[in-house]
Amino acid sequence: MSYWLFYWPGLQGRGEFVRLALEEAGAPYRDVAREADGADAMTALLSGPGPHPPFAPPVLRDGDVLVAQTAAILLYLGPRHGLVGAGEAERIWTHQIQLTIADAVTEVHDTHHPVATGLYYEDQKPEAARRAEDVCRSRIPKFLGWFERVLAANPSGPDWLAGDRLSYADLSLFQLVAGLRYAFPKAAARALDATPHVAALHDRVSERPRIAAYLASDRRQPFNEQGIFRRYPELDFG
């Protein structure tokens, strides 16, 4: 049986964290966003009946089960596909890392939407410049510095965030690093110079056979200015 992934068409967005997990797992999935009526299917799902209405995409459908919220989807997929270690302590630690990645993603999103998601970037450019300066100069180094510390403190070595094997959190950190490099080339380069374990983890993930194949395929949409990570040079405070 195949998963269904619902997300908005035309952007990686938060759906990409789920795609990376499904791709690494080699799990069959239907990416509804890439079908002709993907946007309509998404809208219908959000407004449809059922006991578990999603607040927002991404949404994973697994038979009768609907799961929304990126971190909850990964919590659901992890044990099914070997994307998290065994044992409660390692699973809760992996999830804690994932929630911190989610916080970083929200802060990056709000660099271009500090006032309202419902407004265009062009309607909040002065506010965006102030927020982006803080995110580039303070928050990105702080988040990446914490991931560096987590990797350095891992008793199994600095290859992976939790334990001695890849987890969904590693896939998400890869995506965060890739997105930061796209959106803020100067600020990301500076922060990554100080966090070599994080930079190496990005490369290690990108070389996984299934991830490398995915990144080279047309299933991997390019970054663009509709997603979370947007390249507005005036917001790159390097």
Q: Give the closest residue to 167 by CA, choosing from 24, 4, 15.
A: 24
Q: What is the x/- site pattern for a copy of itself, positions 154-173, by CB under 8 A?
A: xx------------------
By CB under 8 A, the residues from 17 to 76 that bind a copy of itself are 49-53, 55, 65, 67-69, 71-72, 75-76
Residue 234, Cβ neighbours under 10 Å: how many?
Answer: 9
| Cα–Cα distance, 88 to 221 (Å, whole number) | 35
For residue 177, the Cα-to-chain-centroid distance in whole angstroms is 9
Q: How far is the CB of 214 from a copy of itself (least distance, A)?
A: 25
Residues 83-122 that bind a copy of itself (CB under 8 A): 88-89, 92-93, 95-96, 99-100, 103, 106, 110, 114-116, 118-119
User: Tokens 């609907």 map to which residue?
Assistant: 66
Nearer to a copy of itself, 143 or 229 (CB): 143
**Shortest distance (Å) from residue 212 CB to a copy of itself:** 30
Beta strand 59-62 with 29-31: parallel, antiparallel or unpaired? unpaired
The span from the CA of 78 to the CA of 94, in Å, is 10
| CB closer to a copy of itself, 119 vs 212 | 119
- Of 199, 194, 172, nearest to 84 by C-alpha is 172
Cβ count within 10 A of residue 145: 14
Would you tell me which residues interact with a copy of itself (CB under 8 A)? 49-53, 55, 65, 67-69, 71-72, 75-76, 88-89, 92-93, 95-96, 99-100, 103, 106, 110, 114-116, 118-119, 124, 127, 130-131, 134, 138, 143, 146, 149-150, 153-155
